């Protein structure tokens, strides 16, 4: 499992489609599809039901989406914390 695969899965689930996820991630739609396909293959699990141009999370996909929401929220908190620490360090160091 790679970070890029989880991120692609998360954005597809969040945005409701591969093209919308690709636009939000600033990558190509085939790139997003490949990341999700590889994640599904590596773990032998179907994360999305795909019918024509409509996708829906499977039960496994719903469970993974709950986990990726937490994962990316924590990632955001870490980024905010480190940004605050950097600002604090810069203020103290350059004062």
Question: How do residues 7-43 score in pLDDT, each as one tens digit?
Answer: 999 999 999 999 999 999 999 999 999 999 999 999 9
Give the model's pLDDT for residue 52.
84
Question: What is the model's pTM?
Answer: 0.85
What values do phi and psi take at 2, rounded to 5?
-115, 155
Does residue 89 register a pLDDT over 70? Answer: no
Indicate the helix (H) or strand (E) that contains 50. strand 48-51
pLDDT above 60: residue 70 = yes
Contacts of residue 8, defined as CB under 8 A and 6 or more positions apart, other chains included, come to 21, 25, 31, 32, 35, 36, 39
Distance CA 66, CA 55 (A): 17
Burial class of 22 by CB neighbour count within 10 A (0 to 12, 13 to 18, 19+): buried
pLDDT at 1: 82
Q: Is the pLDDT of residue 95 over 70?
A: no
Residue among 22, 25, 42, 23 at smallest CA distance from 33: 22
Question: Across-strand partners of 51?
Answer: 54
């Amino acid at each position: 499992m790679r970070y890029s695969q989880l991120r692609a899965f998360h954005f597809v689930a969040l945005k409701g489609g591969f093209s919308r996820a690709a636009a939000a991630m600033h990558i190509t739609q085939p790139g997003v599809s490949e990341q999700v396909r590889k994640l599904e293959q590596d773990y032998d699990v179907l994360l999305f039901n795909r019918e024509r141009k409509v996708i829906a999370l499977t039960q496994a996909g719903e469970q993974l989406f709950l986990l990726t929401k937490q994962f990316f929220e924590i990632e955001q908190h870490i980024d905010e914390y480190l940004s605050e620490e950097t600002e604090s360090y810069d203020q103290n160091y350059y004062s």
